[in-house]
Structures are given as C-alpha cells and as structure tokens.
Amino acid sequence: MSLLYLNMLLPLLVFYSSSLIAENTNYDRFNVYNINHYNLRINFDLERKSFNGNVEVTAEIQQTTNEFTLHASNATLTIDSVFYFQHTLNFQHKSDLLTILLTSILNPPSSIKLTIFYHGTSDFKGDFEDGGVYFSANDRVATSSEPKFARKWFPCKDVPSDKATASIAITVPDSLIAVSTGLLMKTEHKNGSVTYHWNTKYPIATYLISVAAAPYKKFSEDYKSISWKQMKINYYVFPEDSIKARTDFINTTKILSFFEQIFGEYPFIEEKFGFAEVDGEMTMENQTIPSIQQNMFTGDRQYELTLAHETAHQWFGNMITPADWKHTWLNEGFATYSEALYLEHRKGAEAYQKYINSMISMPEGTYAGSVIGQSDTAFWDSFSPRQYYKGAIVLHMLRRMLGDSVFFKCLRNYSSNSEYRYSNVRTEDFVKVCEDVYGQNLQWFFDQWIYTATDSIDRPMLEYDWTYSSENNSYQLELTIEQQNKNPVYRLPLDVSVKTLDSLQSFTILDSLTTQTFRLTVNSKPQTITIDGDNKIFKMLKKKRD
C-alpha cells in the first residue's frame, strides 16, 4: 500500500489516530486449522452494486475441534448455506465471524473441505483506510483488502500468517475484462457474461488477493529474468488513459531488473507481473498485479517511484509476509526504502540523499511511537509514517553503519532465506539475518530505532557545544553532546568534521551517554565543526546557546 506524499498523510493522522478496526480477536478459534487452498467463485452485478458467490475452503486440522471459524463481515456478507460434501451444516454468523458446526469431531492430522455460499453488498467508498468491493462509475469494480478487508467480500481466514494457494473465478458482463492474481487459465462465455479463471501456484495471504474488472484496454511486454526465464508483463488500463499509461509504464522492466539485481529473482516468475488501473484511493501491491489509482496516470512518469514501491512489495510483503500487522514496517519501510534505492540507481547518490533528507526533515513528533505496532487492530498504528518513512530511515542508517557490501548482503540473504520465502516473518527474523552477516550483536540498534515506544520523541534530541585550547603545536577541541531525551539514551555513531585554518579533519565518535565530552586533536586553530553532515543518523541537532 502506497502513501503518495509526505505532506498528504499528516492531516489524515489527526483525524484517524484513534480509529480502530473493530474485530473479535479470539485467535484460539483460528489456531485449530491452516488453510491450504481457496477456490473462490464470485459474480458481480454492477447495476445493483452487489455480488454473490461461493468459496470452497480446503484446510488442514491442527487441533481437535468440532467447529470451524472463518472471518466474514456482517456488514457486507449474508451467508446462504454451508456444505461439507453433500451435507448441509449449521452455522452462526455474528460479530464478523462465521462459526460452522461440524457433524463430528476432527483430530489432527486430517483435512476438511467446506463450501460456503453467500451474497453481499458493498459499503466501501474507495477510501485509503477502508476496503472491500468498490463499485465506481463507468462499469468498474475493484477490491481492496489490506489489512483486514478480504472478509468483506468473501469468507476467509483473514490473517497474514496463514498463506494458501487460490483459484479465483470472476463472472462479469462480457464487455468487461476481469483481472486477478496469478495466471489466467481460461475464459468462459455464456449468455452475455464471461468468467475469467485465475490461479496462483505460489502461496498468498488473503489481503493480497484482488479482483478488478473494467472495460480495460490491455497491452503487454515480455520480460526476461536474471535466470533467463520468460514472463509476461500485462497492463490493464482504462481506455481514456491508455496513451498516458504507455509512457508511465515505460520503465517497468528497468525497475524489475534493478530489484532482481539486489533482492534476487522476481518471486513470481512462473506467473506474471503487471498493473491494473482502479478508481478510488486504492493503490495496492496485490500479488503479481498491483492496483494503481487513476489519478496517477499522468503521461509524464510523475508516479514512477510509486510503481517502484509496489514492485518492491513483491519481495517484501508478498513473498515474505509479516506474521501479524505489528511488523508492517517489514513491508512498508522496505518498499519505501526501495524507492530511494531505485532513485539512487537512476539518478545518483545526490538524488538518493535528497529523498532521505525529505523524510528525516519532517517535523519533530511526526514519527512518535514505536515502529513495531502496539495493536494488531488499529489501522493507523500499523500504517502510519513510522512504518513507511521511519522504517525507511532505519534501513538508511543500517546501511551507513554496516557499509554497502554488508548491508546489501543482509538484504539478499533475507530475501533468499528458504525459511522466509513464501512464508511469514517477524522483525526478529530480519535482525537475526543482519547479525549473522555482520558478525556482531545488533539488538541495541533495533531496540532504539524499532522497538522503543515513546510518545514524546521520535528521534534523539542533541544539543552540543565546543571549545578549544592550544597545546604545543596542535589544538585540543572539546566537543560536548547532551542527549536531551533521557529515555531512551541512544547509541549514536557520529561523523564529525572540523574545519581549521588550513585543513578539514574528520573523526568518528560514539555518543552513548546523557552527556558526553569528546577530545579531538586538530593541527591548527578550529573554525567550525559539522556533526553528521551527511545525515547518516536520524536526529534533531542544535548548538547550545552562549
């Protein structure tokens, strides 16, 4: 999911800071099974702005149980019936939970296949912080499911930690093209309608399953991966934007190729990649087919960094998925930092640093709070500037501290780890990879930048002063730094440049106390000092008043 502008988000936070996603979080009900496959059939009635369908759920039983619970919104879904083979099962649908009563007790290891028939209407207006099915003008419909809105358009286990394969059959009027995740297996025409059958071979979290249908114009290009595998890149755009789209998407292969060089081969190379245009505030990294909202089609590549962001998500978020929404920075911080990396690749180090500086220079308090979410149900606790921008800043600082060779090896080892690929991770998994590559403990770094929860500050507040004295043929400079924030006290490796009468001398210090004095020897009278002039560290810095 992409936040478009640094200055767009702040007024939203004022309004939504206390907004919660209401949910019964009785996770015990969902621990009794793992989903293996969804077989979803959905039919859209664009005139009535409604839908109906059925989903066949295949699951593996993990704990002894006589009931089976799925997420299903009471606001948008009506459950018509539930079948186990040919047997009708009793069920209860309340508090956004569909509880199915089984006819016998199931014990592990065993499997079950249930079919749920349902119909629904939409309450979704296409807003960023909401989701479900959005029926817009001109015979267009699309879904948005992050973080917990897949339940608004089909019954499912709507948590990121349970990834499954999926088959999605979408029936629409035959004037439309319907797009979804995975590969298109076949189309079936009947009585003025058409059904598109899509299938994933890679596991997918429910929030990454998408459907978009419109009278699209489609165009494609071929892509060859770093292992020389061939894949189609497909673009589905509204007819009025088709000319602009060809310019806006002109560098897609360059984006993919660059990320393959640093992250490894595109994770869904056996399926496809592409973009589908949608209405509303619904830009989203849906697996293999991100949605791009209409106002981003400008014909001048104005939003190319957004395309890079959603492409990077295919590695960070889609292939490697957070175990829960408290770890969203592993998605959004990585994708945001990937924008900076792509900018550096295309335009150089100065453009990269300017982009980082734009995030670092946001007003004090913008990123207040822990980057690790404190609630798994509060939307703005998991999708705030902390996860996107401070998360990216943390990766920038880690890179500057470790050096490029170690840092990029960390990213490559993380994305290629067989335990994490197409599975789920927590922050501690990324920390472990970094420590293994670096060969030293990095918990202190992540504790102060990712885990520390504070409402009063979002970065260390440093006040400094300096004096000097002459000694033999040199000068002794005393630099005193006070961390005005007392909790936590940060550990900060800082570069210091001292301009003297006849030279520029550089030093590296480690500031780790509330107040600390450093003694630096320079060869002539000091004129000025600069602390961390390259913004390697996220901080607020001011000189003590005389």
Task: Read off the pLDDT of residues 196-211 as tens digits, 9 standing for 90 and up.
Answer: 999 999 999 999 999 9
Q: Are the beta carbons of 380 and 466 closer than 8 angstroms?
A: no
Q: Are the beta carbons of 489 and 483 closer than 8 angstroms?
A: yes
At the second CATH level, the architecture of 461-543 is Sandwich (2.60)
Mean pLDDT of 515-525: 96
CA dist list (Å): 416 to 102, 336, 480: 41, 20, 44
Integer Cα distance of 93 and 74 in angstroms: 7
Task: Read off the pLDDT of residues 128-156 as tens digits, 9 standing for 90 and up.
Answer: 999 999 999 889 999 999 999 999 999 99
Integer Cα distance of 387 and 391 in angstroms: 5
Residue 10: pLDDT over 70: no
Q: What is the pTM of this model?
A: 0.94
Give Cα 449 to chain centroid, integer Å. Answer: 18
Question: Which CATH number is associated with domain 22-312?
Answer: 2.60.40.1730
- The pLDDT-based confidence of 376 (bands split at 50, 70, 90) is low
Q: Are strands 211-214 and 177-180 parallel, antiparallel or unpaired?
A: antiparallel
Task: Read off the pLDDT of residues 161-192 as tens digits, 9 standing for 90 and up.
Answer: 999 999 999 999 999 999 999 999 999 999 99
Going by the DSSP 8-state scheme, the letter that residue 428 receives in this structure is: H
Task: Read off the pLDDT of residues 20-74 as tens digits, 9 standing for 90 and up.
Answer: 333 444 568 899 999 999 999 999 999 999 999 999 999 999 999 999 999 999 9
What are phi and psi for residue 57, nearest 5 degrees? -110, 120
Give Cα 384 to chain centroid, integer Å. Answer: 11
What are the strands, taking DSSP E only, across 341-460? Answer: 423-425
Query: Which pair of tokens denotes residue 152?
Result: 């608004």
Integer Cα distance of 253 and 274 in angstroms: 10
Amino acid occupying residue 48 = R
Residue-range domain boundaries for the chain:
22-312, 321-451, 461-543
Asked whether this chain's domains 22-312 and 461-543 adopt the same fold, the reply is yes
Evaluate the omega torsion of the peptide bond into residue 173 and state whether it is cis, within 30 degrees of 0: no
Q: Are strands 474-483 and 515-522 parallel, antiparallel or unpaired?
A: antiparallel
Rounded to whole angstroms, the maximal C-alpha distance in the chain is 97
Fold for 321-451, please state it. Neutral Protease; domain 2 (1.10.390)
